[in-house]
Each structure stands twice: as structure tokens, then as C-alpha cells.
Amino acid sequence: MKNTYSYLISLILLLSFLSCKKEVSINTINIIPIPKQLKQNEGYFEINNKTKIVYTADNDVERIASFLSIDLEKRNLNPQFVTFDKNIKLKNVIYLELNPQLDLPKEAYKLSITNNGFHVSASNAAGLFYGYQTIKQLLPANYSKDLAFHHLEIEDVPRFKWRGMHLDVCRHFMPKEYVMKYIDYLASMKMNSFHWHLTEDQGWRIEIKAYPKLTEIGAWRKETLIGHHGKGTKFDGKKHGGFYTQEEIKEVVAYAKDRFITIVPEIEMPGHAQAAISAYPELGCTGEQVDVWNTWGVSPYIYNVEDTTFEFLQTVLDEVMALFPSEYIHIGGDEAIKKQWKSSKKIQRKIKELGLKDEHELQSYFIKRIEKYVNSKGRSIIGWDEILEGGLAPNATVMSWRGTEGGIAASKAHHKVIMSPGTHCYFDHYQSEDRDNEPLAIGGFTDVEKVYSFEPVPEELSKEEAKYILGAQGNVWTEYILTPDHVDYMIFPRMIALSEVLWSPVEKRDYSDFLKRLNVYREVLDREDIHYAKHVFSEE
């Protein structure tokens, strides 16, 4: 009887314990861009107040660990930091392992979740950072939810070297703080290149100490076009402008570097130069004083080809290269209207003196001369696909925007290529055919599905030629995008779709599955109060 009584008491206590035990909600596996390999195993691990962040002794890894710590602190956890040594028991940990001896490509990582916790390993810090971004996506968007995770194994590596986004801050200036936020967006999607468009007809946005008028005069326009060109075109009558000081540029470059993003600055030439010419009229072909342009389109004002103009550009590039450590400097080269070259007797004499056939060959001479200078500083140039006209500079990388034809031609000539065709990668286009319910855009129609369908390697290329395709990027031109909030709307969720195109294997891509994962990621966009296009979610 006594044994029976003891048994009943034990049973009651057990049932009472089980009834009080918290039911754990295990988070779904939702990762964008989708990893190369992912295997879910039985069991789960739960992060708690005793979970430690263990990391390899390295400045980059310590910074990644601090990013992760901030994410956990938002969930009311205060994880202890521990530098790894062989005596540490790797139990109830998130272990960030940097090991150059691992047989993993640059930017690749492995991630496993077991009873002992998370283990992320990589052969370089960038790979470890991308592993951290995967952990961040595994964390629930709701800060109050349980931190329980399925056991799993991930092996992941990006498909392309260049995974980028562009931002034009010349048509409408964007504050430094937003540019840094934009960099965070790129990092969250495992992108690694930020193309910063800094000079234009409508505004010069970077401080050049040797030429202060570039920002004193060239950074400001008197007014801005309202809406599209057409009958009864109107202007707002408001001065618009702004620029980044060199100290601000350094701050942004360092911020990007900490997130393994390279900033590629664009300094436009020979066209798109009206803001510079407004500051220094002697740089133009007519010598006349002009205003910073207050409208959109392509200005006819173009740099002349005097030695003094090249000296100006070289000095500008010297200051730019001192600020940006990137391998590449983008020099534009697009939409250079040559009417002023054709009508200038001085320019025509120069064409004959150089033994050139026409203005296209003069532009090629211009680009090649600039390239030679940039190469002499240990850097390389990128230009839009118009730099193919008249003969491509020997070492130039081509950014193909007028379709893919320029990229195909450059690849076949064994030049490096970044694909950015307007058909799929211009995020200033409308993203719904219902324009009445869309904010103003330049035109066109590029929805999420079209972006997701993009294939950066044209089928016309042989396997050898395809090796010259570095990757691709999305472009955001801001003629009709006035605010950071509007930029957010134009890039989300299209940038998310592009990230999967550039990171994930072709065979892994499935639009229906992507939409399901995107619908989960939408919770993050809502939590961060990001303005995004919601109509895509009705396509589920």
C-alpha cells in the first residue's frame, strides 16, 4: 500500500511538472537567398540566457559576434562573449569559427545546429559574416517568440562574385544616414557591392578640396521639375541639393567595409557633366556659364578634351581614389551627346590632330586616356556599355545596361562584365501595371517575378566566355524618387528577388517557393517599418 501511495505521489508530481513545462515553438527554416545545400535533422536547440557566443580571436570575427549579440539583446538576452581556446567546452554556444585552412571558397560558409548549439565556419571573414546573416534570418521576426531551432546542416557559397545595388543621389540627394541604412539592406541579402552614383548634370555630391566650387555651386540646383515632361511642364521653385564631405565619405566607406561591402564610386565623364561645368565653365566646349540642370533627360553639356580638363579630372580622381579603396572606379561613359563636339572647331581640329575618324573614336580616346591614368594608380575602370563605341579601353570592365548585348560583346572580347539590363534590373520602373495605385516612376514595368526570372549569363556565351560575367546589380535612378521612403518602396521586394538570382544555384531557384519564403520575410519588413510594395503578396 505504501509503495502504491508513493507511486501515485510521484505520478502526480510528474504530471504536474509536465503540465507546467513550457511548450516550445520551433521556428521555421526560412532563408533568402536560398542556400546551396540545406538538410534538416531531427531534434532542436534553444538559445537561452546561458548560451555563449564563442568566436575565433580576430577583429573581424569579434565585430560579427557583436552584431549577433545586438540581435540577441533585442530579444532580452545578454550573451557572454568568449574567445575560443581548446579548453572551452562547445556546449550551449553559438560558435563563430574562422579557419583559413578550411577547404571552403571565399565567401562560403558552413552552418550546423545540433544539441550543442550553432556552429558557423568559414575560411575568410566575409563567409563568416554571411553565415551570421543566415542565423539572423533564422531568428524569429517577433522578438518575443521562442528561440528554438531545428537541427540542420547548411553548406553555402555565392554563385557570382559581384552582387550589387546602385543608388543615384544626384537627381535627389539622400542623407548620409540613409546611405548607411541602404548598405545594411544590401548586407542583409548577402550583397557585396554598392555602386554610389555621385556626379551628374543635376548635382555634384562629393567634396573635392582642390575644386571647392564643385560643391559650392555644382551641388545645388535652383528648382526641380514636377512630374513628367509634357504639356504645361512645371517646376517647384525650390532650391535642392547637398553633398557629402570627405569625412562623411570616409565614415560611410568604413561602415560598408565592416559589413563586407565594397563601395564603387561613379564620377561621370565625358557626358553628364553639366553640374561640373556650371562650377567651372572652362571645362565645357562653349565656355558659357550654365546653371546646374533643373530637369531630367540627357544634357548636351560635355567636357572638352583640353589637357587642362584632363588635369582637372585626374585631380578629382586622385581625391576620389584616396577616399575609396575599391579596385574599381566607375567613370560613366554613357549618354555622351556629341553635338557640342561636332560644332566646336577646336574639338574638330583635335580629332584630326589625333588621327581619329569621328566623335565616337574621340570618346574612346577620352576613356582610354582616363583608364591609363587610373591603371597607373593600381586601379581599374568600369564604364556603361557605351564605352564599347569607338573601341573599348584595354582593361575596362563593362556594365551592360542597354539590354545584354554590350555584355555579350565585351565577354566575347574577354573583358569583365557586370550585367544590369534595364529590362530586369532597373528599380526606378513601375512594379505594377496598375500605375494609378503606384508612386510616380520614370516608366517601364519590372515586377518581382521578372526580376526573379533574370539570368545574368546569356546563353549565347560559351563556357569560357561566361567566366567573364562577374555578376549583376540592380539600379535605382532617382529622377522621380524624392525621399528615402520612396527608395525603400522601389527596392523592396525586388532587391530581395535579385539577391537570390545572384547568390543561389540556378537549380535551386523556384518562384513559388521564393514567394512563400518572401511572405515570411515580410514580417521583418513590417517590424523594421520599411515601406515596401505589398501587391506582390496577393500573388501567393
pLDDT in tens, 130-178: 999 999 999 999 998 999 999 999 999 999 999 999 999 999 999 999 9
How far is residue 116's CA from residue 114's CA, in Å, rounded to a whole number? Answer: 5
Upstream peptide bond of 33 is cis (omega within 30 degrees of 0) = yes
DSSP 372-414: HHHHHTT-EEEEEGGGGTT---TTPEEEE-SSSHHHHHHHHTT
Q: How confident is the model at residue 361 (pLDDT cuts 50, 70, 90)?
A: very high
Could you give the CA distance from residue 287 to residue 303 in angstroms, rounded to a whole number?
11
Q: What is the pLDDT of residue 500?
A: 98
CA distance 383 to 532: 31
pLDDT at res. 128: 98
pLDDT of residue 345 exceeding 50, the answer is: yes
Tens digit of each residue's pLDDT (9 = 90 or more) over 262-321: 999 999 999 999 999 999 999 999 999 999 999 999 999 999 999 999 999 999 999 999
pLDDT confidence of 27, banded at 50, 70, 90? confident
The pLDDT of residue 23 is 65
pLDDT at 286: 95
Tell me what the pLDDT averaged over the chain comes to. Answer: 94
Task: For residues 319-333, give the mean pLDDT.
Answer: 98
pLDDT at residue 231 above 80?
no
- Centroid of chain to Cα 407: 20
Other C-beta atoms closer than 10 Å to the C-beta of 342 total 13
pLDDT value of residue 3: 56
Cα–Cα dist 374/367, whole Å:
10
Q: Is the pLDDT of residue 13 over 50?
A: no
Please state whether 88 falls in left (phi above 0), alpha (psi between -120 and 50) or beta: beta
Question: Mean pLDDT across the stretch 27-48?
Answer: 95
Q: Please give the CATH topology (third level) of the domain spanning 162-539.
A: TIM Barrel (3.20.20)
Q: Is the pLDDT of residue 540 over 50?
A: no
CATH 3.30.379.10 in the chain: give the residue spans: 26-156
Q: What is the distance between the alpha carbons of residues 247 and 98, in angstroms, rounded to a whole number?
A: 32
DSSP secondary structure letter of residue 141? S
Please check the confidence at residue 19 and state whether its pLDDT lies above 80.
Answer: no
> Hey, is 357 helix, strand or coil?
coil
Average pLDDT over residues 498-519: 97
pLDDT over threshold 60, residue 89: yes
Are 508 and 446 a contacting pair, CB within 8 Å?
A: no
Helix (H) or strand (E) holding 134: helix 125-138
What is the CB neighbour count within 10 angstroms for residue 22?
Answer: 7
Stated pTM of the model: 0.94
- Cell numbers 540566457: residue: 49
Taking only the tens place, the pLDDT of each residue in 437-480 is 899 999 999 999 999 999 999 999 999 999 999 999 999 999 99
Model confidence at 108, in pLDDT bands (50, 70, 90)?
A: very high
Q: Does domain 26-156 have CATH number 3.30.379.10?
A: yes
